[in-house]
Amino acid sequence: MIYKFYQQHIFPHMLNQVMQTPSLMQSRHELLSSIQGEVLEIGFGTGLNISFYQNIDKLYALEPNSDVYQLAHQRIQKAPFQVQHIQASAEKLPFADASLDNIVSTWTMCSIANLETAIAEIYRVLKPQGTLHLVEHVQYHDNNTLKKLQDIFTPLQKKIADGCHLNRNIELALSNAHFKFVLKASYDANGLPKIGRRMFFAKAQKM
């Protein structure tokens, strides 16, 4: 009962705050400002990406957690484009095959229960020349101590942060699903604990 209260009334506000860390907001700007047309965002969260889109026509805001989504209300009201809530999970996208030009994932792939299935769904609904734009926190590959700590703390992190894994290799997961990267970079974000600081920033298309 206490855990349910935490998940419904405390965690969404913590998420809304942490996800506004200045280094993350800067990454949102770099990832999103050049996107045009229609966009599907998976794990829309509290709508923090809205103000960074400069030239889009419509946003499909896929967010399964209604306690999180309701904190996006004011940002959606101010959006200069249509925002349509899709209450669904990334593992089962309610879109036709090859129907979307742009899919965005900002720090969502860490939290998806079945990442392989979700990536296959993203692949299915993207048009052949469509782009997946992503920035995610990932597992270290060049620091064994931090890598091991990420493995050790992931079960706890999943409990306190709604299923978030600290130790995912998103680049490998996307490569295994036949995505090719048209841009990719890794960096350590400022203002976060070391254990969650390594980021993977990329634009990927179907092979």
Ligand X SMILES: C[S@@+](CC[C@H](N)C(=O)[O-])C[C@H]1O[C@@H](n2cnc3c(N)ncnc32)[C@H](O)[C@@H]1O
Binding region for ligand X (CB under 6 A): 15, 19, 42-43, 45, 48, 62-65, 68, 89-91, 106-108, 111-113, 163
Nearer to ligand X, 42 or 126 (CB): 42
Nearer to ligand X, 62 or 206 (CB): 62
| Shortest Å distance, C-beta 135 to ligand X | 8
d(CA 149, CA 126): 35
| Shortest Å distance, C-beta 196 to ligand X | 10
Nearer to ligand X, 43 or 130 (CB): 43
| Shortest Å distance, C-beta 39 to ligand X | 12
User: Buried b vs exposed e over 163-180: b needs ≥16 C-beta within 10 Å?
Assistant: ebbbbbebbebbeebebe
- Residue 158 tokens read as 């999943």
- Residue 165 tokens read as 């894994």
What number of CA atoms fall less than 13 Å from residue 18's CA on the CB side?
A: 14
| Shortest Å distance, C-beta 169 to ligand X | 17
Nearer to ligand X, 105 or 130 (CB): 105
Identify which of 46, 59, 20, 52 has the alpha carbon closest to the alpha carbon of residue 34: 52
Identify which of 203, 207, 200, 187 has the alpha carbon closest to the alpha carbon of residue 35: 203
Nearer to ligand X, 89 or 206 (CB): 89
| Shortest Å distance, C-beta 29 to ligand X | 12
